[in-house]
Structure 1
């Protein structure tokens, strides 16, 4: 359904369209929120707040990119506000890195400047990887190669590519958890 039609229906308080939007995006938004908050219940609460806000403020909403981008930006902002209320700081944008690695949502949700910062932080961690893992990671996430393209270029199996990327993501997430835990101890 076209964004203008959906938005018009939401503004007219069409419960059926609202329910469809909810069903289409809820699970993904909760997963996205959980990558910021690391708390399932708080993530569900944040997403519910987003949908309540969407219902209550539909008449005032202007969506320029896409409904999905708008909703995910709302989730991100509410998560950051929630973390601020807990006095958690993210000076190095580590939460953004973690959320990007854990889910594969559209990168149009963040600005070009934020992308540059996020990539810089990831690359610092990636530099600690073994050479082959670095190469696979950079081909996938910097050069946007597909699994098969990476496998063909490096002369390895697709399963090896997937395994190495999984290990890389795990190592990055582990590194980020330690850093985030350090932030928490500063409170």
Structure 2
């Protein structure tokens, strides 16, 4: 696909070329975004925003790389901006889950790279939680809400919050002890 020809057609607002670009890159871009966000819906939203931006701003775009590189860079930047906007940083504080959610092991013996792997695994597990459990978990361990603040925010009882977090802890505990064991006993 000749980038200049495609760009020229996009600038003329050629809908069939735009649709072809969308069909060619959409799924891959959503997967790419999801590697940052671990949130399918938000990943889809961000990729759709990129395509809307492309349609609305095609006349002013100058691409010095490939169209694919350009679009993926836009997705990456929007994902990073989104993570900043919701105050998610990669400082891996989630890994200790407010001191040993998972095991009574000493996680100080795990390297930063290993913590990053475990962190990503935990986020994948959390992504599989039912929506309400996921929301409660994120409020507690990402936003550092207290039980009563979560209950107030979601209009549920403190007992429901505790029960959901207990279930979340069990699901994580069932899913990654082997992963932790590999890192803790090498």
TM-score range, shorter chain: 0.5 to 0.7
Distance 1:3 1:91, change over 3 A: farther
From the superposition, tell whether residues 183 and 64 of structure 1 become closer, same or farther in structure 2 (CA, over 3 Å). farther
1:82 has 2:82 as partner: yes
Number of residue equivalences: 113
Counterpart position of 2:142: 184
Deviation of 1:90 (Å): 2.5
Gaps of 5+ in 1: 93-122, 127-170
Change (3 A) 1:84 1:14: same
Q: How does 1:35-184 map to 2 (within 5 A)?
A: 35-90=35-90, 125=113, 173-178=117-122, 184=142
Structure exhibiting the larger radius of gyration computed from Cα positions: 2
Distance in 2, matches of 1:50 and 1:24, equals 14
Assess, with a 3 A threshold, how the Cα gap between structure 1 residues 179 and 44 changes in structure 2: closer, same or farther: closer
- Does 1:22 pair with 2:22? yes
Q: Aligned partners of 1:3, 1:10: CA distance in 2, in Å?
A: 10
Normalising by structure 1, we get a TM-score of 0.53
Deviation digits for residues 94-133 of structure 1 (CA, Å, limit 9, x no counterpart): xxxxxxxxxxxxxxxxxxxxxxxxxxxxx9637xxxxxxx
Q: Report the alpha carbon displacement of residue 89 of structure 1 after superposing the two structures with TM.
A: 1.4
Distance in 2 (CA, whole Å) between partners of 1:78 and 1:4 is 24
Contact residue 89 and residue 183 of structure 1 kept, 8 A: no
Normalised TM-score (structure 2): 0.53
Deviation at 1:84, TM superposition (A): 1.3
C-alpha RMSD of matched pairs (Å): 2.9
Contact 1:29 1:75 in 2 (8 A): yes
